Structure 1
Amino acid sequence: MTAAPRDGGGNPGAAAVTVRPRKVLRVAWACAVLSVVFFTVIAVLLRNSPTGVFFRLADQIAMVLMGLFVAGGVLLLARPRVRADADGIEVRNILVTRHVPWDQVRGVAFPDGASWARLDLPDDEYLSILAIQAVDGAYAVDGIRAVRALYAAASPDGAQATSEQS
């Protein structure tokens, strides 16, 4: 989690908070590297296989490319990030990035037993925040507190809503 002073606009004294998951990031990178290594080893060993099937260079290249595609898919899990400042919050999950102004947020919650935090929105909707995950422990607690502090500072009813959900 990083906090930095704002560059301009809005409230110049307010800090911007950026949170990314830690453990999932490490696991995703390790799995991506292992999948590329695994598919590369399979590709090298294909030529020497006594199965009666003739594997050529194109088959070996295809196996390595499959490993790269699998690694790319696994690395999508490392993509989540949340950025919050005085104007609103930007939530980047695996495929979609969404910016929500604070006036549309009804609360910042981390329900009991949940794997990640969420933004409560109008009409009983919510937006999952995959960047703040329970497996990160104290880091996740610091991240949710920083986001809640920005929410409370940005909205007059924010302090009440966040204290009810703590």
Structure 2
Amino acid sequence: MPVVRIWRRNDGAQPAGAAADGGWDFEVRPRRAVLTARIVAALIVAMFAVGGIWLRSGSTGVNFRLADQIAMVGIGVLGAGAVLMLTRPRVRVSPRGVSVRNILGDTLFGWEHIRGVSFPDRKSWARLELVDDDYVPLLAIRSNDKAHAARAMDRLRELGAKYAGPAEPKQD
């Protein structure tokens, strides 16, 4: 199945499927997961900064230096950066297809490759159903966002019907 990979470029070029003004009919990002990740990242940096400051205050028999304190804070910043990667998920819709960005990378799925979207029972996020009986998780539409997720699914299905046309009936 051909898909278009979208990579960030420094020349200011827009990703495939997007016009110069954005060109996306719909964009959704998670809400609660982003807030939680930001709080956790701030706590990680704070804990490692405090730990780095206190590193030289006790007499543990180990001789810690300023470089050790700076390294401790640096580890906290790296950990916080890893947690903030969880704020990246996004789903965008245009006439060309659906662009899905989960933790790493963007992928644009053309409407001819999309069968629909679903939100399976007891799952944490929605799925983009593909015609080859495969699916792609949509981490941007999460169950803990409740009404926000329901509105996003409704809008995604509405745009799917508009751009992909009516679903073909199943043949048994």
Distance 1:49 1:158, change over 3 A: farther
Deviation per residue, 1:80-129 (Å, 9 max, x gap): 00101222110000113111011110111111111101111122110000
- Indicate which of 93, 102, 105 corresponds to 1:96: 105
Q: Which residue of 2 aligns with 1:74?
A: 83
Q: Which residue of 2 aligns with 1:132?
A: 141
Offset at residue 160 of structure 1 (A): 6.7
- Indicate which of 107, 113, 130 corresponds to 1:121: 130
Question: 8 Å contact 1:153–1:159 — kept in the other structure?
Answer: no
| Aligned counterparts of 1:143 and 1:121: Cα–Cα separation in 2 | 18
Query: Aligned partner of 1:32: which letter?
Result: A
Question: 8 Å contact 2:24–2:92 — kept in the other structure?
Answer: no
Query: Aligned partner of 2:90: which letter?
Result: R
Contiguous gaps of at least 5 residues in structure 2: 1-17
TM superposition score normalised by structure 1: 0.85
TM superposition score normalised by structure 2: 0.82
| Aligned counterparts of 2:168 and 2:82: Cα–Cα separation in 1 | 39
| Aligned counterparts of 1:52 and 1:129: Cα–Cα separation in 2 | 51
Moved more, 150-159 or 128-137: 150-159
- Indicate which of 127, 151, 161 corresponds to 2:160: 151
Distance 1:151 1:159, change over 3 A: farther
Distance 1:106 1:92, change over 3 A: same
SS at match of 2:120: coil
SS at match of 1:108: strand
Q: Kindly report the root-mean-square deviation, in angstroms, between the aligned alpha carbons of the 2 structures.
A: 2.2
Q: Does 1:44 align with 2:47?
A: no
Figure out how many residues of one structure are paired with residues of the other and give that number: 152
State the identity %: 44
Q: Per residue, is there more helix in 1 or in 2?
A: 1
Q: Which residue of 2 aligns with 1:34?
A: 43
SS at match of 1:106: strand
Question: 8 Å contact 2:27–2:91 — kept in the other structure?
Answer: yes
